[in-house]
A and B are shown apart, each in its own frame.
Chain A
Amino acid sequence: MTTTEASPVHDVDFKLELYRSQVALRRFETRAYDLFLENYVKGTSHLSIGQEAIAAGVAAAMRPDDWTFATYRGHAHTLARGVAMTPVFAELMGRANGLMAGKGGSMHLTSVEHGVMGSYAIIGAHLPIACGAAWSAQYRGTDQVAVVFFGDGTVNIGAFHEALNFAAIWKLPVVFICENNLYMEYTRTSEVTAVARPAADRAAAYGLEPILVDGNDADAVYEVARTAVERARAGMGPSLIEAETYRHGGHSRADPGKYRPDEEVALWKSAERDPVSRYRTRLVELGVDESTLARIEADVDAEVEAATEAAKAGAAPGEDLLMKDVWANGGAEWRN
């Protein structure tokens, strides 16, 4: 498909915004990790450090009324849609000022007003759900698009295949984005997958084009996402994108990720591969002042600092929340 308008990715202001977004995701996640180690964040947390270009690049290609469906590794995808840091930190910490007042936790970040239609912790479940939202947009003629993020391990669960077929036959406005970070929890996906490209090699089975993108290049991600979102909006049906990336850290909590070869980790963390360093270098090469970049970084640091404190200042959720909102009437009564 040909795009008629010039892509905004050639514009420096646009790129600076994309840089700011990636820096924000990186520094948010870095702080979230510290807060986990300090026991402010309890339970679990799954970070996107190393994968920021995907959440940032895709969000930049979306309209505010489009929808995203994320996974338990969804802090970045939530923030990238414009959700403020404070309620996300507070949700991770189980505070009443959290995004869902502490009732969801790190794995279920949701902000309907930002089109963040939930983060899902059962592998693959949200792919068919995203299809349902896309079906709703199609039926109501709103030309909204549903974008759904998932990992490389997710291509082996049934829901993935049901959703891809369903989206294809109904020509649904949905964009499937596989973040191929090479690993499931502690196992390399290639060891348990019949094809080399977990998502791209499956595209043909659903009559779709294989789309592979460097998931550590925010500009490249933005471009493929823009094309896919435009296609969906134009009624041309779903796309399946495989974005190659890597998580710098472990799967969750304080997992050191020792099941991965040191050289592999070092390669992906290197300035040439790391999405944030790479993007910074690109901006410098384009002639952006060091001071401009430093200011963006300082602003983000200040935002992270303020949000951390505001989140910590939140109260623990009270008993009033416990029995609230099981039902649409706001309550939890199941009998008279």
Chain B
Amino acid sequence: MAELTYREAIARGIAQEMRRDESVLFLGEDVGAAGGVFKGTVGLFEEFGPVRVRDTPISEQAILGAAMGAAMTGLRPIAEIMFADFFAVCWDIVANEIAKSRYMTNGQMSFPLVIRSGNGGGLRFGAQHSQSVENWAMMIPGLKVVVPSNPRDVVGLMAAAVRDDDPVIFLESKALYPTKGEVPEGEIVDALGTATVLRHGADATIATLGLMVPRALAAAEELAAGGIDCTVVDVRSLIPLDTQTILRETSATGRLFTVEENPRVLGWGAEVASIVAEEAFFDLDGPVVRITTPHIPLPAADTLEDMALPSVERIVTTIHKAMNS
């Protein structure tokens, strides 16, 4: 068992797949000798060379178009979009082309590709380099969406994403890059669409994702000290969505809280809340409560950003209040 950072796990996961399969290529801006602006892909260029690890111009449509064209002709490209905010300049390729073309062609084409991107806030970068866009991707039929919360899951979900025959949007929480975790030796391959239960409690269930997972776990510890024992579900994969785990864990405690980095309106938790309302209503002992970023562009100043993103303190007080009213 080695301790790796989340950023080292990215390179480890990609390398694991590139060693195994020659059809896996990697492209993006500054990803070659530079090793990525977040240093998430250090060592890949040295190991796999400039033909399989390719620097591109600042052309997000060309990057994703290249990935799509390569995937439809038999390769398994991994493309990097440096900051998830930049999806906005190439969203046509994602939402209109990659996502729809299998269906429109009556299954004639496959798009086994991965688009990985640095997602979300916490680094004081301001509104154009900090937003979390997993809900953008989630609402497009034809895209799979995963958001790992720890180094082990980065490797396992990357492998699952690369091996999947459908397009996968792989969103890395930027603020987690320096965080560490145990990663077992050897090949790790997860299954998409599997949530994990990180903590068991009897009183309430928290469903969360990415950067919010460590915050939810810390909040659960504090709440436990105050007598509220929480289950914490790391959703990991929004599409496919492991609703069975969420429903089961919600029914077991009778309460559900979602902790989401997305701005409030139509954040991923809205879909989860609606599923629970329809399918587990009679197991609920109180309303589903969503803890989200307010519906605002994310501010840059550290004090303001900290107010905006769900914090351990806000999770604790929100759950405490809801459980005692």
Are B106's CB and A334's CB within 8 A?
no
Query: How near does chain B come to A300, taking the closest CB pair, in angstroms?
Result: 27
Q: Which of B84-115 contact A (CB under 8 A)?
A: 92-93, 96-97, 101-110, 112
Residue A128 interfacial (CB < 8 Å)? yes
Interface centre among B25, B72, B112, B243, by most chain A C-beta atoms within 10 angstroms, is: B72
Which residue numbers of A lie inside 8 Å of B, CB to CB?
67, 100-101, 103-104, 108, 110-112, 117-118, 120, 122, 125-137, 139-140, 146, 158-159, 162-163, 165-166, 169-170, 321, 324-330, 332-336
Assembled-state Cα–Cα distance A163/B57 (Å): 10
Are B66's CB and A135's CB within 8 A?
yes
Q: Known pairs A104-B105, A140-B75, A335-B239; list 4 more (Cβ under 8 Å).
A: A111-B108, A128-B59, A128-B93, A335-B243
Query: How near does chain B come to A82, taking the closest CB pair, in angstroms?
Result: 16
Residue B324 interfacial (CB < 8 Å)? no
* CB-CB under 8 A for A108 and B62, given A125-B93, A129-B69: no
Q: Name 30 A/B residue pairs within 8 A (Cβ), A-sorted.
A: A103-B103, A103-B105, A117-B69, A117-B109, A118-B101, A128-B68, A129-B68, A131-B66, A131-B69, A132-B65, A132-B68, A132-B71, A132-B73, A133-B72, A135-B70, A136-B70, A136-B74, A136-B75, A139-B75, A162-B65, A166-B66, A170-B54, A324-B107, A326-B103, A329-B165, A330-B107, A332-B141, A335-B275, A336-B240, A336-B241
Point out the residues of chain A lying under 8 angstroms from B101, CB to CB.
Answer: 110, 118
Query: How near does chain A come to B276, taking the closest CB pair, in angstroms?
Result: 12
Contact count band on B: 35 or more
Q: Which of B16-66 contact A (CB under 8 A)?
A: 25, 51, 54, 56-57, 59-62, 64-66
Are B110's CB and A328's CB within 8 A?
yes
Point out the residues of chain B lying under 8 angstroms from A130, CB to CB.
Answer: 65, 69
Are B61's CB and A103's CB within 8 A?
no
Point out the residues of chain A lying under 8 angstroms from B105, CB to CB.
Answer: 100, 103-104, 108, 110, 112, 118
Are B106's CB and A100's CB within 8 A?
yes
User: Pick the contact of B65 from A112, A129, A334 — CB < 8 Å?
Assistant: A129
Point out the residues of chain A lying under 8 angstroms from B106, CB to CB.
Answer: 100-101, 103-104, 321, 324-325
Point out the residues of chain B lying under 8 angstroms from A128, CB to CB.
Answer: 59, 61-62, 64-66, 68-69, 93
Point out the residues of chain B lying under 8 angstroms from A67, CB to CB.
Answer: 73
* CB-CB under 8 A for A163 and B243, given A110-B105, A326-B142, A328-B102: no
Query: How near does chain B come to A111, taking the closest CB pair, in angstroms?
Result: 7
* CB-CB under 8 A for A146 and B69, given A131-B62, A166-B56, A336-B193: yes
Point out the residues of chain B lying under 8 angstroms from A326, CB to CB.
Answer: 102-103, 141-142
Residue B67 interfacial (CB < 8 Å)? yes
Interface centre among B25, B54, B61, by most chain A C-beta atoms within 10 angstroms, is: B61
Q: Which 3 A-B pairs have the closest CB atoms?
A: A132-B69, A128-B65, A328-B165
Are A108's CB and B59's CB within 8 A?
no
Residue B172 interfacial (CB < 8 Å)? no
Point out the residues of chain B lying under 8 angstroms from A100, CB to CB.
Answer: 104-106, 108
Are B166's CB and A334's CB within 8 A?
no
